[in-house]
Amino acid sequence: MTSEGRGTPATPTGPAWLLANELLAFVVEVAALAALAWWGFVNGDGVAARLLLGIGAPAVAALIWGMFAAPRARFRPPLAGVLLVKAVVLGGGVYAVHAVGHSVSAVFFGVVVVVNTGVAETYRRRGVRESAA
């Protein structure tokens, strides 16, 4: 979000629940990266493999996210592409929670990811269409 023509951050507007959902989206993204790091540090044979997985998995996920799914992504694919990237990164986080032995938490996290992403993308796209009209 930027102010028109100035390149400075815009003041968030909209209903409080929508702003809370945007904040939750950021928390979910960070939680997915943390889960990937946790998974990496727990798995792997030997210290070097654990370090590589623990640092590499979230780094690769963050790079992919930043290139294709972030609000200021360098490449902005159509909605299906953005959702695919989000499914891979956030789904990877959900799988990571399951893989470290927390299946119930993974189900809860998965539900939060799906609902949050659905609401966020629906209202982001609606806002784009309304401002274009």
Which structure tokens are listed for 99?
């893989």
Each residue's pLDDT tens digit, 78-108: 989 999 999 999 999 999 999 999 999 999 9
Residue 60 lies in a domain: yes
Residue 7 lies in a domain: no
Q: Is the pLDDT of residue 4 over 90?
A: no
Domain count, the chain: 1
User: What does the pLDDT average to over 47-59?
Assistant: 96
The pLDDT assigned to 12 comes to 56
Q: Is the pLDDT of residue 112 over 90?
A: yes
The residue segments making up the domain with residue 28 are 16-132
Residue 68 lies in a domain: yes
Residue 115 lies in a domain: yes
Tell the residue number behind the tokens 């979910």, with chain if given: 28
- Alpha-carbon gap, residue 75 to 122, rounded angstroms: 20
Q: Is the pLDDT of residue 69 over 80?
A: yes
Task: Look at 68 and 3; give whichever has higher pLDDT.
Answer: 68
Each residue's pLDDT tens digit, 15-43: 788 889 889 999 999 999 999 999 999 99
% helix / strand / coil in the chain, to the nearest 5?
75, 0, 25
**Entry pTM:** 0.81
Task: Look at 81 and 5; give whichever has higher pLDDT.
Answer: 81
Give the distance between the most distant pair of CA atoms in the chain: 57
Residue 27 lies in a domain: yes
Average pLDDT score over the chain: 86
Q: Is the pLDDT of residue 13 over 90?
A: no
Do residues 90 and 110 lie in contact, with contact meaning Cβ atoms separated by under 8 Å? no
Residue 6 lies in a domain: no
